A and B are shown apart, each in its own frame.
Chain A
Amino acid sequence: MRAEHEAEFREFVTGRTERLRVFAYLCCGDWHRAEDAVQTALIRLYGAWNRARKISVDPYVRRIIVNVLIDEHRLSWFRRVNIGGDEAGPARATAVDGQRTDQRLMLTEALQHLPRRQRAAVVLRFWEDLPVEQTAQIMGCSTGAVKNLTMRGLATLRGLLTDSVLDDIQGATS
């Protein structure tokens, strides 16, 4: 990779890792798996950087993350790759505020009750703010399938979320 392209790649990693980790976490509900998925995606992105940077890097790397986390086949051989020598992985989330922790459980745990593809569709549509077409592209399915997955996911969430959270997400379950 040329030096200027590698500099672009480093800038992308530095600037986007945090959000990609949250995205992966919302898709799987486990910070360790999220960390692994993002790491795997970024390593693969390195080899494909010259190609990916000419299209759209964000959808490209999200697609890899979704594939790693969602695809059953990939899950069967999913393994931890630690490049930093830190066997303990990322530190556990700490409850800095009891009420905040309770709220996190209300929404993020509700998300984890969704089947994987419904969860991915909801996260891509309503947290990543992606249109149906791009969500379909990332998930490798039709736009109709995305709409169906989203509708069913929201219906399930409606039954799981507390009233207070539902009040915060006005419209999401309507």
Chain B
Amino acid sequence: MTKDMGSVVSRELEGSIPASGITADGIVRAGRRRMVGRRLGFGGLFLTGAAALTAGILAIQPGSGSLPAASPSASGSAEESPPPAPPQEEQQAFPLPDLDWENDSYDWGYADSTDVETAETAILTERLWQWISDYEGLELLEYDGSGGSEPVTRENFHPFQRTVQKLVEDLAPEPGDFSLGPDAGYERPIYLWAGGASYSSGYAWRFDGADNDAQIGVTIYPKGSYLPGPKSVRSMPSTWDVRHLVAGCEDYRFDSQGRTGKLADFSCEEKDGPDGERILMVECVFNAESEWAQTMVTAVVYQPNGNAVVVDGYAVDGENLPFKTGMGPVLTGEEMADLALSLPDLVVK
């Protein structure tokens, strides 16, 4: 039946299909313009809104060294005269301690269980929502727990939150084990957006009607606390680390869960942003030679104030899996970097 219909159509159209103006060069040029245009459009919005947003922050806490824990309400009405501009608050550095990263294993815990919204996180939430809204063909969906899903709107969009991490020693760094050891005596504040209530139950991202419920998170680390040097994340020989932290970006094999020789296949790229930001993009395919693989994509943008905006996501891809078959990461490294560049360099404290 299909061949019959196809052959009729083909016969009818043969010789009468008009010439096309579409060329690969033209599409590539237009595709590049579109991507740059999105970025510039957002940047323009940022520039025009930056003064107002900055004034809003200052109106909430003029000259203060700390911000309220509660989510800020709209403030700084049009009738009020803007407060005098105090000196720009400098980003405090949170240098990682000098530990034996090669031989000891560490993990990140939380200094307290309270995640709060601040004036800075409110701005970040707005910017992230703007970026997502500007992405043509993208919708966010949230599962309702009964098998259905609801579109995510600005009103129910999960916000950035501030939390404080502490470094703790992991006394049992073998696969499957974790034993909380003593504090390493180091804490850092971070601003975190995990795409939902937790990193493991985030949104579905719908691109042009195709759902992708792979996970994504955005974290902003203060100056000095997320370094592009080796072993600035925990050392765990049983799993992969983030290879942008290791010189060379070489692939390697390791043992995990009783199976040996799993391959972590890395691709790394480093470049400069439009304002000189350092941009690192890393894609790691874990278990790369097996019937299924997990892909992790990370983009890091080091902002002018030294903070690191880290966008990362992962997805499971396997033809033989009954779930998430063929699913790729939510965003490409380029898109993640674009997202990170769209976020303003606010003080993390």
Contact = CB atoms under 8 A, between A and B. Distances in A.
B15 A104 contact: no
Interface of chain A: mostly helix, strand, loop or mixed = helix
A73 B19 CA distance: 29
A106 B24 CA distance: 33
Contacts, number: 168
Interface string A32-54: 00010011001111111111001
A6 interface: yes
Contact of A44 (B136, B329, B332): B136
B23 interface: yes
A129 interface: yes
Interface in A121-138: 125-127, 129, 137-138
Contacts of B2: 125-127, 129
Interface string B305-319: 000000000000100
Given A63-B209, A83-B29, A127 B21 contact: no
Contact of B331 (A10, A21, A51, A97): A51
Interface residues of A, number: 68
B12 A90 contact: no
Nearest to A84: B21
B20 A18 contact: yes
A18 B23 contact: no
A143 to B, nearest CB: 15
B332 A104 contact: no
B210 interface: yes
A121 to B, nearest CB: 13
Given A10-B28, A172-B1, A35 B22 contact: yes
Interface of A: 1-2, 6, 9-10, 13-14, 17-18, 21-22, 25-26, 31, 35, 38-39, 42-51, 54-56, 60, 63-64, 67, 81-84, 86, 89-97, 100-101, 103-104, 106-108, 125-127, 129, 137-138, 140, 165, 168-172
16 contacts: A21-B22, A22-B13, A31-B17, A35-B22, A46-B27, A46-B28, A46-B34, A47-B31, A51-B329, A54-B295, A55-B328, A91-B19, A103-B8, A108-B12, A169-B8, A172-B5
